[in-house]
Structure 1
């Protein structure tokens, strides 16, 4: 039984995270206002009054918090970002301070036919003869968290699959308005043998819908960090991050470590610059970084690579569910 669970966790990792980071177009930032967001992690003993005084010191507004890390997300006027960072770095109550960077979704395609899901055959999930599906279809007791743009909860291939929802973004809806999180969710858990759409890799597994990217396909690191922590606290066995950013972040790293220390497998896309440049959070030691391969088992030309990449898996023309 244990080996079956391991097999299916690996199958999920392979198909969920080996999609290319978006290219050829620029996604607009979530916030076009002349303010910037910074993340401040306070020392454990710092109380709310002290935090208020520190915010007042730099003229910042409280935008969000990451409670498990004792961190706050602050908005400051854009021209004063660097001076605010320098001031906060000198405060004894502050463990670290950094800008709240943006991460972006991955591209996708969709098709309603199992015959087009070449990745399932390539990893021998649904291969002729000996295949993983001969032994196990996944367990409904296993939860995979999809940290993404939300999931279409009324999709016929995903009805009843979502155990819990969490919106960590500024969007007013938990649903998928960008048509990406639904695609990722279907790869792992689309209902199978129902005569509709596609087949999920481990189709008995249930989902946590953790919305960490906004309706335009991008999201702040603080949103993603909150989603990772919430997922770990709500029973996730695997956290999938089909997203990436080019900037490192102590906050994002801390959230990955938080999940790892609770026994959660965190997986993330390696990136699509076709270089060895790191993508975050995939680059972190406690995250499983997954590169992409094509139908001939060759590295996709756009896929990142390097000693920091842990796995390579089918990632070219992966078919899955799309929102209605």
Structure 2
């Protein structure tokens, strides 16, 4: 028997508030536990810390590790021997090639991480913490709600684009960087026939299981003929450290996708420079800029005008997507906003493929009256979900759909769609929706 909670939205009446902060605490505790308990991280003695302003967590990072550019490794090791003594060493990533251009250096136990980074920057050496990117940004959660049971006779929402009278001329490749992939879900729905991926993924049975498959399904509804591949790069507890995510991003880019959909990122503390603090992402972006690939990113669900990265990086190869409610016009109450958000698309009450089984509702504040856990049993391979996580693949799918008939390069197709979005603007927000990528 299902007990699906019916609680007020965490962002009402405004954020920050106690409900939101309690929900945040539950989620970040889950992320930290998941990262530190992953077998490869236990072997490396990974310890996750947090940076907080007042009551709010700004971001998570891995302790006693720094990221530097490959070109600076020998110089950095020499400086560290002189300043903190022996013990610093190059750390190789687990089970994969290192990220191009970036080296992870493990510091001796007890080293002052902030002092080390500050000293290296004073010497004009790029160095940063090993931050955690996650599908749960700092003020709320991504997704903004937990998955909800839908009726047996529902199809995907938004509906699959009508391509039958418009045969495509080009096969477009979309890479989804996310959590796990479930072949069992794909086998249940015909609109997922072109979605593939590596089965399972890290911690495939965690709280955010099915997120990657769901996101891949949203791409497929907008671009039914596109080749959509889900890359399980994030733990289903919600996050991944940059030094482990970076090599996967690099591997994906080298496969030559037209579009990458990424529903993850991080905030920073007020005043911090993302180009300096997020070295792994910045180096990846530099390689991305040399290709034709377009990176479509979630703007995050803090319900505030606060940067969420990489979406907030101001570069033409990156698109930041905010979420609309189900009217394709009203900004969702949970969505980040501001001039840095490039486009808006539906992210509320999106329906797509989701694995069967029991789901326990946990994104609640145990100290708030009325916030009682519940559960639901999914039985029809579908769920309804809300968040900028799901507006993002909708936009990625629209770019892919336009490319299939226009023969434009990814950024050219995005530029054309952005003009349409501006023409459809509501209250100054450029809007894209199903049908905007159709052949004229």
TM-score by length of 1: 0.71
Assess if the C-alpha contact under 8 Å between 1:149 and 1:176 holds in 2.
no
d(CA) in 1 for partners of 2:67, 2:223: 37
d(CA) in 2 for partners of 1:309, 1:136: 31
Name the structure 2 match of 1:20: none
Post-superposition offset of 1:307: 0.9
Name the structure 2 match of 1:62: 90
Deviations 1:248-285 (A, max 9, x none): 31321231232232010101011111111110010012
d(CA) in 2 for partners of 1:152, 1:83: 44
Alpha-carbon spacing, 1:104–1:114, altered in 2? closer, same or farther (3 Å): farther
Name the structure 2 match of 1:100: 130
1:254 equivalenced with 2:265 (yes/no): no
Name the structure 2 match of 1:300: 332
Q: Secondary structure at the match of 1:40?
A: strand
1:109 equivalenced with 2:152 (yes/no): no
Over the aligned positions, Cα root-mean-square deviation in angstroms equals 3.4
Q: Relative CO higher for 1 or 2, CA cutoff 8 Å, sep ≥ 6?
A: 1
Post-superposition offset of 1:298: 0.3
Q: Secondary structure at the match of 2:228?
A: strand
d(CA) in 1 for partners of 2:194, 2:110: 44
1:85 equivalenced with 2:117 (yes/no): yes
d(CA) in 2 for partners of 1:41, 1:282: 22
1:269 equivalenced with 2:298 (yes/no): yes
Alpha-carbon spacing, 1:102–1:41, altered in 2? closer, same or farther (3 Å): same
Assess if the C-alpha contact under 8 Å between 2:90 and 2:103 holds in 1.
yes
Q: Secondary structure at the match of 1:26?
A: helix
Name the structure 1 match of 2:104: 73
d(CA) in 1 for partners of 2:47, 2:306: 30
Q: Secondary structure at the match of 2:224?
A: coil
Post-superposition offset of 1:113: 6.1
Name the structure 1 match of 2:239: 218
1:318 equivalenced with 2:354 (yes/no): no
Post-superposition offset of 1:235: 1.6
Assess if the C-alpha contact under 8 Å between 1:260 and 1:266 holds in 2.
no
1:148 equivalenced with 2:178 (yes/no): yes
Aligned pair partner of 2:310 in 281, 292, 307: 281
Alpha-carbon spacing, 1:237–1:102, altered in 2? closer, same or farther (3 Å): same
**How many matched pairs?**
274
Consecutive unaligned residues of structure 2, counting only runs of 5 or more, are: 1-22, 37-45, 49-62, 136-141, 269-273, 357-440
Which structure has the greater CA radius of gyration? 2
Alpha-carbon spacing, 1:68–1:218, altered in 2? closer, same or farther (3 Å): closer
Name the structure 2 match of 1:162: 196
d(CA) in 1 for partners of 2:224, 2:267: 33
Q: Secondary structure at the match of 2:117?
A: helix
Assess if the C-alpha contact under 8 Å between 2:157 and 2:352 holds in 1.
no
Aligned pair partner of 1:33 in 32, 44, 47: 47
Name the structure 2 match of 1:119: 158
Larger deviation, residues 313-322 vs 132-141: 132-141
d(CA) in 2 for partners of 1:67, 1:241: 20
Aligned pair partner of 2:321 in 266, 277, 290: 290
Aligned pair partner of 1:237 in 247, 258, 268: 258
Alpha-carbon spacing, 1:166–1:98, altered in 2? closer, same or farther (3 Å): farther
Post-superposition offset of 1:234: 0.2
Post-superposition offset of 1:209: 3.1
Alpha-carbon spacing, 1:250–1:50, altered in 2? closer, same or farther (3 Å): closer
TM-score by length of 2: 0.54
Name the structure 1 match of 2:19: none
Assess if the C-alpha contact under 8 Å between 1:109 and 1:319 holds in 2.
no
Deviations 1:273-302 (A, max 9, x none): 111111001001231000000122200011
Deviations 1:85-113 (A, max 9, x none): 23433567xx4000011121132636576
Assess if the C-alpha contact under 8 Å between 1:64 and 1:73 holds in 2.
yes
